[in-house]
Amino acid sequence: MAVPVAFFAVFFAYPVAAIVARGLQIDGSWQFGRVADVLAQPDVRHVLWFTTWQALASTALTLLIALPGAYVFARFDFPGKQVLRAVVTVPFVLPTVVVGTAFLALVGRGGLLDELWGVRLDTTVWAILLAHVFFNYAVVARTVGGLWAQLDPRQEEAARMLGASRLKAWRQVTLPALAPAVAAAALMVFLFTFTSFGVVQILGGPAFSTLEVEIYRQTSQIFDLSTAAVLTLIQFGAVAAILAVHAWTVRRRETALRLVDAATTARRPRGTGQWALLAGVLVTVAVLLVLPLAVLVERSLGAPGFGYYRALTRVDGGTFLVPPIEAIGNSLQYAVAATAIAVVIGALAATALTRRDAGRFVRGFDALLMLPLGVSAVTVGFGFLIALDEPPLDLRASWILVPLAQALVGVPFVVRTMLPVLRAVDVRLREAAAVLGASPWRVWREVDLPMVRRALLVAAGFAFAVSLGEFGATVFIARPDNPTLPVAVARLLGRPGDMNYGQAMALSTILMLVCAVALVVLERLRTDRSGEF
């Protein structure tokens, strides 16, 4: 635990504490009254209200649209199911900047809806809600669907034989068993939408702002660190409460059910109703998930002769100091370094968490590992700038700063992917190896590693994908001569002109393709029992 604890203490807790202290301290004295002053501001209360209700609305809409998909994945067996599973998962691993850009191409000025029917949604909350559904559809479909596939269908069939209607049998038998999974998925969707940044930044405009966007505005545009610190504390408290509830629901999900092999529960659709349900899910996936990405690709090809892509190789003297195409190499290099860091830290933490003699501190650290997913990435990025600027941690001019920030987001995915597999390793195998004289390192290398090698590769793939798309922290610490793909897309969208817009679409398409390739590799490595996030 020493290395993971030190890593999170130095590169997460210290920068966040530093920026909060900078905002709440004046002449060495704490100004806790500033919290009440900030909360009394009408604009701040409006941001808090909008952040909360749009997260609730996004969660409810995602559940409504994705639960039929979860049922289809769980109970139906049909040609192309694995391809559909990959298509559904692509949006989840896409950077939020790409998601926002895709919906901008669909519903924004000059977008597909604007050209066909003169309809624009980029200035309405509907664009944000639909983009959140697009991003989180896979969380519900695969998390709930993964459990649904393992529920014994004979229980519901027995209720039907005893006279219950299909709806009553589902409501009284299946729904209570699914409740922990639905609650866990809903809480994760709420967490992602409550802390939404890239989507709201691109689609919300000046009218809509979440806590994360407001923290960014107060930090980088107004330079009001005091207000930003208060908003950070509010978001931190809300995220901690969400994660506590999530941990409780996951424990219920793991211990309250008797499951069967998922391969025995799926069958081909039968009857008009089931085929209609499958068709409806396919249409939903095509319209909600595939169409925005297709429009994104189409807009990137708008200039003759791949003009937008060729423009990426030139320096315009304004937006970038280097050709935008160099952002691809920068992102790949940063993502590889971040993945290596995340795998080492995450593997050490996961190994420690599986020890039967782990104390309360180690078990509590499991929950703390999830905090980087919910705490303001903007705060972490700006905290890096003000905290890691003095020896022996003067890293402001170092390239490693970006991979370190990206690794903070990747570590939770590594831990969550490796923990179930490590916990499944028979402890008696380790004990037998130790009795025969093997050192702890040799036991891990020859007993644990062969069993978790596939999970380790899957974890590395997830860490690579999320590192590639990290935006909130990177936007502060990426140097102008070394931009990443998400930062480059955001800069291009921030400048007027069709050429800048087209180049943003082209870069977003490249980033989408890189993430999709990473996902295809993940699907090939994924075992049947590791299909959930």
pLDDT at 526: 56
Residue 369 burial (10 A CB sphere; 0-12, 13-18, 19+):
buried
pLDDT at 64: 94
DSSP 174: I
Question: What pTM was estimated for this model as a whole?
Answer: 0.78
Q: How confident is the model at residue 528 (pLDDT cuts 50, 70, 90)?
A: very low
Q: Which range has the worst mean pLDDT, 37-41, 265-269, 338-342? A: 265-269
Q: What are phi and psi for residue 532, nearest 5 degrees? A: -100, 160
Q: Residues 6 or more apart from 262 whose CB is under 8 A from it?
A: 74, 146, 149, 150, 528
Q: How confident is the model at residue 474 (pLDDT cuts 50, 70, 90)?
A: confident
CA–CA separation, 222 and 261 (whole Å): 56
CA–CA separation, 195 and 184 (whole Å): 17
pLDDT at 512: 83
Q: How many CA atoms lie within 13 A of 6 on its CB side?
A: 5
Taking the alpha carbons at both ends of the chain, their separation in whole angstroms is 24
pLDDT at 530: 42
Judged against a pLDDT cut of 50, whether residue 255 lies above it is answered with no
Compute the chain's Rg from CA coordinates: 24
Q: Which has more pLDDT, 496 or 329?
A: 329
152 contacts 264 by C-beta, under 8 angstroms: no
Q: Which range has the worst mean pLDDT, 105-109, 292-296, 323-327? A: 105-109
pLDDT at 529: 44
| Mean pLDDT for the chain overall | 81
Report the share of the chain in percent with pLDDT over 70: 88
pLDDT tens string 146-197: 777 777 777 777 887 888 777 787 778 777 877 877 887 888 888 889 888 8
Q: How confident is the model at residue 532 (pLDDT cuts 50, 70, 90)?
A: very low
